[in-house]
A and B are shown apart, each in its own frame.
Chain A
Amino acid sequence: MIVSLEWLKDYTDIKVSPEEFCDRMIMSGSNLETLELVGRDFKNVVVGKIEKIEKHPDADKLVVCQLNIGQADFVQIVTGATNVFEGALVPVALHNSVIPGPLHGKTKEEGGTKITKGKLRGVESYGMLCSFGELGFEDKVVPVNQKDGIWILEGEYTLGMDFSDALGLKDEIIDFEITPNRPDCLSMIGMAREAGATFGTELKYPNTKCEKEEGSAEEFLSVEIKSDLCKRYVGRVVRDVKVRQSPWWLQKRLIHAGMRPINNIVDITNYVMLEYGQPLHAFDIEALKDHKIVVSQADKGEVFTTLDGSERQLDENMLMIHDSEKSVAVAGVMGGLNSEITENTTTIVIESANFEANSVRTTAKKLGLRTEASSRYEKGIDPNLCQAAADRVCYLIELLGAGTVVGNRVDVYPNVISAKSVNARVSRINKVLGISLDRDQMVKYLESLEMKVEGTADDLIVTPPTVRQDIEIEEDIVEEIARLYGYDKLPVTIPKGNNEAGQSPDRDLKDLAKDTLTGIGLNEIQTYSFVSPKSVDNVRIEEDSWERAFVKILNPLGEDTSVMRTILMPQMLEVMGRNYSRNLAEMKAFEIGNTFMENVLNPQELPMESYNLSIGMYGQGVDFFTLKGVVITLLNKLGIEDLEFVPETEYGTYHPGRCGRIVAKHIAHLENGDREEEVELGIMGEIHPEVSEKYGIGIRCYGCELMFDNIFELADTTKAYRPLPKYPAMTRDIALLCDESMTVAEIEKVIKASDNTILRDVRLFDIYRSSQIGEGKKSMAFSLTYRHNDRTLTEDDVQKAHSLVLENLKEKLGVSLREL
């Protein structure tokens, strides 16, 4: 709500500085957007009268004006403006003046533009005649008749007077942020009520009583409400209307409120709307067939032309103002072109009505037409304002001599809203706020807001004015007391009671995973929870697979963010692609985030959400085994040690020869005893070249996606001490000649199965290929560690176990020792 302090002073006394006014209003609940001091940004600009206009000797488009600025000598100014005439009063920026600009299409300068004397085509010019724009006014507030050319003043002014003083332009304009619960503050009176309560000053309502009224409105107008979306309709009638410019004081207030002056009737309705917060509309009564107003919903498919000349498609939920046969306005949004006030209008109907907030909101939204009126209606307006606002319009019309007011009003108000009381308790208010305020002080605060307070002792029976639709329960009263007492004066305490802080174990694990991965050099990324449905195509996910069971957003911003992600890998690839395209030679990153899936089994329940962890990396020296190392380190840290990497050739995202499923073995404690189980934790591999190409990654890259929910299940971060080995170990190195297709895992499995008494560790330390050992063959060297827990090993112990290992290898896999 834009508030001119000069204007606000009409309704309540303000004795403090604008800054203090703002500070205290903020603390009582009217938050400040901006405070602007206006009318101070031009210097040495005065009121002048054009005494004489002559042609410029050397330029067709320029004229030479002699300006009377109240001094003996005239000031000569050359101008190119075409709307000047002899006798016109104009703003004159003298030699060495400053105007805010913008000047001649140039952008507005910080600190304004300096005007000095100069020659225009050889003729001396001692300053400049100014337009609204050059004096710093925005286009949208410049009065219709002043849009082009120099500002021509209407009325009497002292020549040579400081322009800002002469027109009363110095003002403080405050833009208050009004929260949705306080539509009553979208009005000067509402803000004056707040100011009165904040500073303890009296609220003065504006005059609404006309001096002279003739006849009765019912003789001219009948009103019928046919929809409950209209709660009240007040119509008043004014005859002998003279449509012309408004006086400057009225124009100025509208301009300072950010509105454009149009003509006296429109300006008055806008002015009263700003005063009361009640939108008003004026119809030409001759445009209303049978002088009848019918408020009802639109016909389906109806097309209507609004004041701005646009054709609007209506639907049956939109509330319209009709006469006896046609639509004349979209209720609460905009009038129709067919009933607009023109220069020929003589009798008008002033509409001051109340329309249901939500109906106006949806209508305005559907029509894409948000107006000053609709934005007020949609927040909710007190129907009890209708009459006063209509009367105020009539008063101002009479005051400005703009017409003859017809007596009485047509007022259709089916369900009168009356003030409702709210019960509150002094003790409860103090208890919630942590203070001990006495009843009298509370009553004083409430009464300063025009609330009536009854009851005795602890009981406060509070009746707020009907404009305060937000006051419904005791807590609302608590807030009123708190804000007028001052939030800053409330004590600062720490709540009693001792709570044990904590977090869930799965959150602990997520934190631990982040710490571990960053500790070994991976960066964390965060990407949107929604993705394009095409993302799964890009990573070559098969049709009908679970990764395509998307939760779809009905109203996405665009296709790219239209479904909830089921996996994290597409976004990891996108980030890798982005970094690669920005010439980052290497990248190692991870993301831990929610993934979503349709709840196919229980569609009435919320979709399933689970945490996934993705890893992505590329760069020099990075290969499959770099990633494998990261995965193992992470899982080991989370207490998952027994891992198997099972080759996977069918998952489209990955290179078929360089991909594996990550399987953990663990002992499940079941009712009928323990059982070893295998749990798949995720998948990893080199990204398929087609996929990396899609994401613009021109280098081999690697990815992994883990299902965190499965990790939660298996993770065990409890630590226990195991005694250090007391007896020395013996190692035996063996080199095995085998086919290229033989895997390390196969050999390890056989070796480990051979002995479970003294074999402690099996470790591959070399793979060797050469023509010497033959095509399609390789030699794998393992180091086997033997140790007895209870005594020193003998050569014999080791020999026995070791030969069994070799025997098994030969028997089960057909591999034998390579002669070294």
Chain B
Amino acid sequence: MQEILKGILEETKEQIEKVVSLPELEEIRIKVMGKKGQLTEILKGMGKLSPEDRKEMGRIANQTKGEIEAAINNAFKALKEKAQEAKLRAEKIDITEPAKEIKLGTKHPLTVTMEEIAKVFKSMGFTLTEGPEIETVFNNFDALNAGPNHPARDWTDTFYVNEEVLLRTQTSPVQVRTLQSQKPPIRVFAPGRCFRCDTPDATHSPMFHQVEGLVVDEGITMADLKGVLDSFAKQMFGEETKTKFRPHHFPFTEPSAEMDVSCFKCGGKGCRVCKGSGWIEILGCGMVHPSVLNVGGIDTEKYTGFAFGMGVERVAMLKYGIDDIRLLYENDMRFIEQFK
């Protein structure tokens, strides 16, 4: 009997080694250990043995059974691993196939530019403020020292709603509103839409955006104006950017200046963007004119201030190399999606 068991064990082991599929292995298991399997039959026949022999044979039979089970289990594991491996191999994909599209939207390039400008001024302690697009003639002109004969007031230059109300031509009336509603220290900037009677072409638009800035406090100097705007230029256009302040004229500032930045395309060597000069005009600025401060009832002996204004379209067009302002208002999705 011992021999028979040994025989079964060896034969089964041999068969297991040759097995290539799970059903085959199952077949062997049933053949040996099933209800009518070889081993089962033997164990059934053990009743006929003497108690001593039964004990001894029982031990051997169980050992054999254990060994066969282990062999089957191992084979099962191996086959399963192999099958898994084969399955994975079969599931190979071409990972260079195109991705499934997940679409992010894009903000309008003017918004992107405005947000960049806003971020810089907020980092310097400026509060964002806004004013209406339809303004009084007083806030847009008179309060800003542009008297009744100022050419910008002409009907050919400015859109009017009635004799006293217009579409603001600049964001500067926000200066007036701020000075009338706040006490120094004032440090605000105001982005917004402006309107002028310009027929649309590649460089003109009857509607455009500006960002205005205003600082009023005790002891504000023109050196402070230079400091703030120089810092803005470096944060906006790169650390290596240089600034140049040139004397200029605006009715609501005195002294007035225009700020050029070193060309961010060529670095100042001269190129098409800067028309060979190495400099790009970016904004107008100056020390707030006392008659503007007076509108807000601010003591001009005690307080001084500076203000600045820049065109957002101009900055965006220069930064992104957009050559036609009309593209900004056409809203072709292929254009907008370039500013992701």
Contact = CB atoms under 8 A, between A and B. Distances in A.
Chain B associates with chain A: yes
Interface of A: 26-29, 31, 179-182, 357-358, 361, 365, 378, 431-435, 473, 475-476, 478-479, 482-483, 487-488, 490-504, 507, 511, 514, 517-530, 551-557, 561, 564, 575, 578-579, 582, 584, 587-589, 594, 596, 606-607, 609
A555 B206 CA distance: 12
B179 to A, nearest CB: 16
B337 A475 contact: no
B230 interface: yes
11 contacts: A28-B247, A473-B290, A490-B245, A495-B228, A497-B187, A504-B128, A526-B111, A564-B134, A584-B332, A584-B333, A588-B105
A529 B206 CA distance: 10
B74 interface: no
Given A521-B104, A523-B106, 16 more contacts: A378-B151, A433-B221, A490-B245, A495-B215, A499-B127, A501-B126, A514-B111, A522-B105, A524-B111, A526-B110, A529-B193, A551-B134, A554-B155, A582-B332, A607-B161, A609-B133
Contacts of B170: none
A357 B108 contact: no
Given A499-B185, A501-B126, A607-B161, A493 B224 contact: yes
A483 B255 contact: yes
Interface string B262-275: 00000000000000
A31 B333 contact: no
3 A-B pairs closest in CB distance: A434-B221, A434-B223, A179-B249
B231 to A, nearest CB: 7
Given A358-B149, A492-B227, A589-B331, A432 B122 contact: no
B246 A487 contact: yes
Interface string B323-340: 000001111111011000
Nearest to A502: B127
A488 B222 contact: no
A272 B249 CA distance: 27
B244 interface: yes
B256 interface: yes
Interface string B101-133: 001111110110001000001111111111011
B222 A490 contact: yes
Contacts of A432: 221-222, 287, 304
A19 to B, nearest CB: 11
Nearest to A28: B247
Contacts of B162: 554
A613 to B, nearest CB: 14
Interface residues of B, number: 80
Contacts of A584: 332-334
Contact of A475 (B167, B245, B255): B255
Contacts, number: 235
B26 interface: no
Interface string B142-171: 000000010100111001111001010000
A582 B135 CA distance: 37
Nearest to A498: B125
Interface of B: 103-108, 110-111, 115, 121-130, 132-136, 149, 151, 154-156, 159-162, 165, 167, 185, 187, 193, 195, 197, 199, 206-207, 215, 217, 219-224, 226-228, 230-231, 244-249, 254-258, 287, 289-290, 304, 328-334, 336-337
A503 B125 contact: no
B93 to A, nearest CB: 25
A517 B105 contact: yes
Nearest to B147: A358
A492 B226 contact: yes
A555 B331 contact: no
A478 B287 contact: yes
Contacts of A529: 133, 167, 193, 195, 207
Determine which residue in A498, A511, A526, A551 has the highest number of CB atoms from chain B within 10 A of its CB, and name it: A526
B105 A524 contact: yes
A813 B258 CA distance: 73
Nearest to B207: A528
B217 A495 contact: yes
A741 to B, nearest CB: 36
B277 to A, nearest CB: 9
Nearest to B206: A557
Contacts of B332: 578-579, 582, 584
B328 A482 contact: no
Nearest to B217: A497
Contact of A490 (B105, B160, B226): B226
Given A475-B290, A487-B257, A527-B331, A561 B206 contact: yes
B224 A357 contact: no
Given A523-B105, A526-B110, A606 B165 contact: yes
A494 B221 CA distance: 9
Contacts of B104: 518-519, 521
A555 B135 CA distance: 16
Nearest to A483: B247
Contact of B160 (A483, A501, A555, A606): A555
Contact of B130 (A502, A504, A517): A504
A494 B224 contact: yes
A789 to B, nearest CB: 37
B123 A501 contact: yes
Contacts of B195: 529-530
B149 A493 contact: no
Contacts of B103: 521, 588
A282 B104 CA distance: 71
Contacts of B255: 475, 478-479, 482-483
Given A487-B245, A555-B197, A589 B223 contact: no
Contacts of A497: 185, 187, 217
B134 A609 contact: yes
B285 to A, nearest CB: 11
Nearest to B229: A492
B155 to A, nearest CB: 5
